[in-house]
Amino acid sequence: MTAALIDGAALARSLRAQVAERAAALTARGHPPGLAVILVGSDAASSVYVRNKVKDCEESGIRSVLQRLPEPTPETDLLARIRALNADPSIHGILVQLPLPAHIDARRVIETISPDKDVDGFHVASAGALMTGQPGFLPCTPYGVMRLLAHAGARLAGAETVVVGRSNIVGKPQALLLLQADATVTICHSRSHNLVAHTRRADVLIAAVGRARMITGDMVKPGAIVIDVGMNRDETGKLCGDVDFDSVREVASAITPVPGGVGPMTRAMLLVNTLEAAERKR
């Protein structure tokens, strides 16, 4: 069997078109959706991410405000800026790009963002809302993965799903979303014994570990749907996922490529969350 490709780039494009339509409607009524993006320092990868976010906003009719702050910015200054954005009615979403410089407490920064503007879904109130099934913003990557699974026709109710990785940004919220969809959920991580025994039972396997090509074909159940959240560079500097695409493609029924799978969806869901935040104010 050769797995079907789950085209995240195409799905993200159609989501952006929907966002653009709804953003235009808000703007026509005099309430353009607005996203504030704060970047502290000049980390190369973060600069690229932030530039992409601003570009995505432009293309979907969301007003973005980028604040670039120098690396030595004191935490108190950053917190004051966030409080000002919390109080600004033209701003509906606030995103502080991570990682932050070591002298800044990222937790304190995230908890200062008003939960109703927390379009990253990183605030403890957003995490608690997800845990207890209350409305709140979902972290963009696991939210995008759920959309990809729906698009791929995955039947989650009662299914065996395995999430490899337990981060606060992906693994944990991903597991909660799958649980909410009535899946049976196993979370594996770097300390799991006999990882392959778990992954081979998965009807839906989600890799979010950050290790190049660690999920190989022999670890996958024939016919499984495999979602690759990884974004790594291999020894030759080539972009690759956590999944060994070539061997897994021969075993799975559907698979996301890297690039062109989860990545574009993460970006699209930020736009969805920002639009949602703006619509909730209306």
Structure tokens at 125: 């109130």
Asked whether the beta carbons of 156 and 133 are under 8 A apart, the reply is no
* Secondary structure of residue 253 in the 3-state scheme: coil
Residue nearest to ligand GUN (CB): 98
Of the residues 96, 156, 226, 268, which one makes contact with ligand GUN according to CB under 6 A: 96
**190-210 per-residue burial string, b: 16 or more CB within 10 A, e: under 16:** eebeebeebbbebbbbbbbbe
Fill in the DSSP letter of residue 218.
G
Shortest distance (Å) from residue 120 CB to ligand GUN: 5
242 included as an active-site residue: no
Site string for ligand GUN, 161-200 (x = CB under 6 A): ----------------------------------------
Helix spans in the chain (H):
8-28, 44-60, 75-86, 106-112, 124-132, 140-151, 171-180, 195-199, 245-248, 262-280
Total residues interacting with ligand GUN, rule: CB under 6 A:
7
Task: Name, in order, each residue with C-beta under 8 angstroms of 85's C-beta and a sequence gap of 6 or more.
Answer: 36, 91, 94, 117
Of the residues 94, 95, 152, 204, which one makes contact with ligand GUN according to CB under 6 A: 95
Q: CB under 6 A: which stretch of 7-15, 96-104, 146-154, 210-218 binds ligand GUN?
A: 96-104
172 included as an active-site residue: no
97 included as an active-site residue: yes
Among the listed residues 56, 97, 117, 244, the single catalytic one is: 97
Asked whether the beta carbons of 38 and 9 are under 8 A apart, the reply is no
What is the footprint of ligand GUN within residues 101-120 (CB under 6 A)? 120
Site string for ligand GUN, 31-70 (x = CB under 6 A): ------------------x---------------------
Task: Name, in order, each residue with C-beta under 8 angstroms of 86's C-beta and a sequence gap of 6 or more.
Answer: 94, 112, 113, 114, 117
Considering the rule CB under 6 A, would residue 265 count as an interface residue with ligand GUN? no
Q: CB under 6 A: which stretch of 73-81, 89-97, 188-196, 271-279 binds ligand GUN?
A: 89-97
Task: Name, in order, each residue with C-beta under 8 angstroms of 15's C-beta and a sequence gap of 6 or more.
Answer: 147, 265, 268, 269, 271, 272
For residues 227 and 6, give the distance between their C-alpha atoms in angstroms, rounded to a whole number. 9
Among the listed residues 56, 117, 118, 120, the single catalytic one is: 120
Considering the rule CB under 6 A, would residue 98 count as an interface residue with ligand GUN? yes
Cis peptide bond prior to 89, omega within 30° of 0: no
Site string for ligand GUN, 139-158 (x = CB under 6 A): -x------------------
Nearer to ligand GUN, 32 or 210 (CB): 210
In the complex, the residues that contact ligand GUN under the rule CB under 6 A are 49, 95-98, 120, 140
Residues annotated as catalytic are: 53, 97, 120
